């Protein structure tokens, strides 16, 4: 209990009309029920009170995605200085114990303010870049195989004890260049450091913990001295020691000692816990586990989805350096914040179907488990590499492994890290596939270092039914072959259908409550061949791969009046929108334009379900649409949505050009761009304000490729300027926009750009990245 206990808000007081709500007052992040499922425990907050004061903790708690990210992003207003502060102030006896060991933990990379932080980070980050991590793969794999060899015939094991704790620690020590003696002591030290910093130890525990932390501090000092005596030693700490000699004012002595202690913990504990969370989550979903066993290419994104849904880093702490606001809530200077990424990662405002475990989710990489901005975890790609190898080795050698039923999962009570302390699994060794195929144990599937590309994420689906929606239009229903639940979709959403060498976007046009996805495919005789291929080769039972669903053409359903305009096969998203508007009881009119009735898909259904709201414009019957008159039907409470051929959309774009922002939305399926870089492109510089880096984007390379090579994760999907998923904020500089996402007004505003295709119009851009 802190001195701020009670039920009043520390800013406004009880008389200020701002009492702490009952749920905020009972918030307890150390409770077993919270640790079992922090996202579920904070669902009420995400829905009702996304920023609240916890009197029990003395912290403001932030739970929604955009708010947590905004706090991470602004590390000046929200200082990380308290990231390693003890949640429970130590007792006098504990302080005396620490003093006996000369304990003097100072700032490290995670709790430093600017400008010192970025100066050090820049000086020390080279070892963490993707190109320098790939060389670690062989070592991680060797260690993993040794461990799996040791238990593969046993039939039952605690994976945490047998491998998931020790391998990350061994790898971390190797990376740091720290000798591997004292592994058991390091386990005790790590737990003590976690409890000391982020836990709520009782007075008796405090003394024990303080003693272990003191010994850890001295151990770190001894190792550091030993390493200083080997000036040519390998590993990141040796590198840091050399930097200390080169730039003593940037990489200081006290920094090295503190960092040595902190990074031994940070370097392995988060990976260890995240791996245990991931294996637990995968085995709790046997159909998903089975699929990964069959198709290891799914592992990188499955790891990302595990990090999103059950990451090992639950929350970080920040301190307000001035009076400010988060989501409209006044935060006073010096207020302490608990920003809960474990809650943000489930926020449905950012992640559609946020609680669904979907290893095909292409936005999984946007999770905040690694933090964001200039304090984002430097070891994130190391963690990814290890987790992928663990899961690949286990799924290949023990695909029949399952969780031991009835076990209770326990978690160390603390504010920061979360992962099961034991993870009991079992299997029948007689069924081990390597008994009949000994070569299997040595097979290897490697993955590129870094965040998975959405291009590699595809869901296998079976064609369930094929029918005719009109002349030349096939109606295709797809279903998951194993009955895995599919993500829900909303009107305007599409999937990418991958067949043969083709990837084509098709809007979903069935009912969102159907268990499968339905698309309508027009055979385009003069197209690039994709639709012909689909018409000629797909049969019921054929397996295809899809990406999505994604929605870049959202229906503004809150508006009271709507004009829907469909040209030809553009009826597919428009029909789903009309269904939704009808269900909501909105005022809408559907203009459906086509060349001839027999080529217009869903005519019967349109007549049946939307007859009174529909105006047909059939050219062969002299009914060509008068778009100018249609657009004149707009009023300030109306939204216009259109989908159809480029000519129709171009004309509508001109006619709607003067309407207020947001009045008109359309969906284009091609940019007309030939490649994302052009022969006459020139190099330009980008200042990344959040990451405090300056990069050069050379001619022949996109901005997206350049920032990713620097270890900055930017999501992407289409990579051709159509979807908007690679949008980055622009703080300064002129932009050469090449996308089909932004409106004329948004372009003129110059505040955002698509990193996959757009470039600087001048020599430099400053970006909010």
Alpha helix ranges (H) inside 587-713? 603-610, 627-632, 646-655, 703-709
Nearer to ligand FES, 45 or 716 (CB): 716
Q: For the range 721-725, what are the long-range contacts, defined as Cβ-Cβ under 8 Å and sequence gap of 24 or more?
A: 721/671, 721/673, 721/676, 721/754, 721/756, 721/757, 721/758, 722/552, 722/668, 722/669, 722/670, 722/671, 723/550, 723/552, 724/552, 724/754, 725/362, 725/363, 725/454, 725/550, 725/552
Residues near ligand FES (CB under 6 A), total: 14
Residue 729 found at the interface with ligand FES (CB under 6 A) = no
Residue 718 found at the interface with ligand FES (CB under 6 A) = yes
Residue 714 found at the interface with ligand FES (CB under 6 A) = no
Among 148, 391, 475, 722, binds ligand FES (CB under 6 A): 722
744-753 burial, b at 16+ Cβ within 10 Å, e below that, comes to: eeebeebebb
Residue 713 found at the interface with ligand FES (CB under 6 A) = no
Residue 392 found at the interface with ligand FES (CB under 6 A) = no
**Interhelix angle 92-100/203-228, nearest 10 degrees:** 20
Nearer to ligand FES, 705 or 719 (CB): 719
Select the span of 340-348, 481-489, 614-622, 722-730 touching ligand FES (CB under 6 A): 722-730
Residue 504 parent element (H or E) = strand 502-507
The residue written with tokens 């907050």 in the block is 45
Residue 754 found at the interface with ligand FES (CB under 6 A) = yes
Nearer to ligand FES, 282 or 714 (CB): 714
Residue 705 found at the interface with ligand FES (CB under 6 A) = no
Nearer to ligand FES, 631 or 742 (CB): 742
Select the span of 300-308, 537-545, 626-634, 716-724 touching ligand FES (CB under 6 A): 716-724
Instruction: Note whether 730 and 35 are within 8 A (CB).
Output: no
Select the span of 152-160, 418-426, 592-600, 711-719 touching ligand FES (CB under 6 A): 711-719
Nearer to ligand FES, 157 or 757 (CB): 757
- What's the rounded Cα separation, in Å, for the pair 581 and 572? 15
Query: Residue 191 corresponds to which tokens in the numbers above?
Result: 């737990």
Residue 756 found at the interface with ligand FES (CB under 6 A) = yes
Instruction: Note whether 668 and 722 are within 8 A (CB).
Output: yes
Nearest distance, CB of residue 659 and ligand FES, angstroms: 24
Residue 717 found at the interface with ligand FES (CB under 6 A) = yes
Residue 723 found at the interface with ligand FES (CB under 6 A) = yes
Select the span of 163-171, 371-379, 528-536, 712-720 touching ligand FES (CB under 6 A): 712-720
Residue 735 parent element (H or E) = strand 735-736
Residue 724 found at the interface with ligand FES (CB under 6 A) = yes
Q: Around Cβ 408, how many Cβ atoms within 10 Å? A: 8
Residue 726 found at the interface with ligand FES (CB under 6 A) = yes
Residue 53 parent element (H or E) = strand 51-54
Residue 348 found at the interface with ligand FES (CB under 6 A) = no
Residue 741 found at the interface with ligand FES (CB under 6 A) = yes
Kindly state the DSSP code that residue 598 receives in the 8-state scheme.
Answer: G
Query: Residue 32 corresponds to which tokens in the numbers above?
Result: 């077993």
* Measured CA distances, 319 to 59, 71, 323, 334, 531 (Å): 9, 10, 11, 6, 56
Among 258, 313, 363, 725, binds ligand FES (CB under 6 A): 725
Residue 549 found at the interface with ligand FES (CB under 6 A) = no
Among 105, 719, 735, 737, binds ligand FES (CB under 6 A): 719
At residue 767, φ and ψ (nearest 5 deg) are: -115, 150
Closest CA to 464 of 448, 483, 491: 483
Nearer to ligand FES, 536 or 674 (CB): 674
Residue 579 found at the interface with ligand FES (CB under 6 A) = no
Nearest distance, CB of residue 668 and ligand FES, angstroms: 11
Nearest distance, CB of residue 43 and ligand FES, angstroms: 31
Instruction: Note whether 686 and 702 are within 8 A (CB).
Output: no
- What's the rounded Cα separation, in Å, for the pair 696 and 389? 33
Residue 767 found at the interface with ligand FES (CB under 6 A) = no
- Could you say which residues in the range 104-163 bind ligand FES, by CB under 6 A? none
Binding interface with ligand FES (CB under 6 A): 716-719, 721-726, 739, 741, 754, 756
């Amino acid at each position: 209990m802190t001195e701020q206990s009670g039920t009043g808000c520390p800013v406004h007081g009880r008389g200020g009309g701002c009492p702490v709500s009952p749920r905020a007052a009972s918030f307890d992040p150390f409770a077993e029920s919270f640790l079992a499922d922090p996202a579920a425990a904070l669902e009420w907050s995400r829905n009702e009170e996304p920023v609240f004061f916890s009197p029990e903790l003395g912290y403001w708690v932030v739970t929604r995605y955009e708010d947590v990210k905004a706090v991470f992003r602004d590390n000046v207003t929200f200082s990380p200085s308290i990231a390693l502060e003890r949640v429970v102030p130590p007792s006098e006896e504990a302080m005396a114990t620490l003093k006996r060991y000369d304990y003097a933990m100072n700032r490290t990379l995670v709790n430093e303010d600017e400008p010192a932080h970025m100066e050090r980070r820049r000086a020390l980050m080279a070892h963490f870049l993707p190109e320098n991590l790939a060389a670690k793969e062989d070592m991680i794999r060797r260690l993993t195989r040794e461990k799996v060899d040791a238990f593969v015939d046993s039939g039952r094991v605690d994976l945490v004890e047998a491998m998931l704790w020790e391998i990350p620690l061994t790898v971390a020590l190797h990376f740091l260049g720290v000798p591997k003696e004292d592994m058991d002591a390091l386990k005790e030290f790590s737990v003590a450091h976690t409890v000391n910093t982020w836990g709520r130890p009782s007075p008796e525990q405090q003394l024990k913990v303080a003693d272990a932390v003191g010994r850890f501090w001295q151990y770190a000092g001894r190792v550091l001295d030993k390493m200083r005596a080997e000036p040519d030693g390998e590993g990141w700490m040796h590198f840091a020691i050399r930097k200390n000699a080169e730039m003593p004012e940037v990489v200081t002595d006290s920094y090295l000692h503190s960092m040595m202690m902190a990074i031994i913990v940070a370097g392995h504990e988060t990976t260890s816990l995240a791996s245990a969370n991931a294996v637990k989550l995968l085995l709790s979903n046997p159909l998903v586990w089975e699929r990964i066993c069959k198709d290891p290419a799914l592992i990188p994104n499955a790891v990302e989805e595990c990090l999103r849904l059950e990451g090992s880093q639950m929350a970080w702490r920040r301190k307000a350096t001035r009076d400010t606001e988060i989501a409209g809530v006044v935060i006073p200077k010096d207020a302490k914040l608990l920003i809960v990424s474990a809650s943000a990662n489930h926020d449905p405002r950012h992640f559609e179907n946020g609680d669904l475990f979907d290893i095909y989710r292409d936005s999984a990489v946007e999770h905040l488990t690694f933090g964001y901005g200039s304090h984002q975890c430097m070891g994130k790609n190391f963690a990814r590499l290890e987790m992928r190898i663990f899961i690949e080795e286990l799924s290949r050698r023990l695909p029949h492994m399952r969780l031991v039923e009835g076990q209770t999962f326990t978690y160390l009570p603390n504010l920061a890290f979360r992962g099961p302390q034991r993870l009991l699994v079992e299997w029948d060794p007689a069924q081990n596939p390597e008994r009949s195929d000994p070569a299997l144990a040595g097979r290897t599937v490697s993955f590129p270092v870094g965040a998975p590309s959405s291009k590699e994420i595809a869901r296998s689906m079976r064609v369930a039914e094929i029918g005719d929606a009109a002349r030349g239009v096939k109606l295709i229903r797809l279903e998951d072959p194993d009955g895995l639940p599919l993500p829900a979709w909303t009107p305007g959403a599409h999937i990418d259908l991958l067949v043969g060498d083709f990837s084509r976007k098709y809007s979903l046009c069935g009912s969102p409550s159907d268990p499968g996805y339905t698309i309508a495919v027009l055979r385009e005789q003069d197209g690039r061949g994709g639709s012909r291929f689909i018409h000629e080769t797909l049969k019921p039972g054929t397996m295809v791969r899809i990406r999505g669903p994604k929605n870049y053409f959202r229906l503004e359903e809150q508006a009271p009046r709507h004009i829907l305009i469909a040209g030809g096969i553009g009826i597919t998203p428009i029909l789903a929108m009309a269904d939704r508007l009808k269900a909501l009881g909105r005022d809408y009119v559907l203009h459906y334009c086509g060349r001839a009735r027999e080529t217009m898909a869903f005519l019967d259904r349109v007549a049946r379900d939307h007859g009174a709201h529909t105006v047909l414009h059939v050219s062969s019957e002299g009914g060509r649409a008068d778009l100018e008159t249609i657009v004149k039907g707009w009023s300030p409470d109306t939204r216009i949505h259109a989908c159809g051929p480029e000519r129709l959309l171009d004309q509508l774009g001109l006619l709607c050009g003067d309407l207020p922002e947001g009045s008109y939305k359309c969906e284009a399926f091609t940019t007309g761009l030939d490649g994302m870089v052009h022969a006459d492109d020139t190099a330009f510089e980008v200042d990344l304000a959040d990451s405090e880096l300056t990069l050069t984007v050379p001619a022949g390379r996109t901005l997206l490729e350049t920032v990713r090579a620097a270890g900055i994760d930017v999501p992407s999907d289409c990579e051709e300027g159509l979807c908007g998923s690679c949008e980055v904020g622009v703080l300064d500089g002129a932009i050469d926009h090449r996308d089909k996402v932004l409106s004329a007004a948004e372009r003129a505003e110059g505040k955002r750009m698509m990193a996959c295709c757009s470039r600087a119009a001048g020599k430099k851009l400053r970006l909010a990245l």
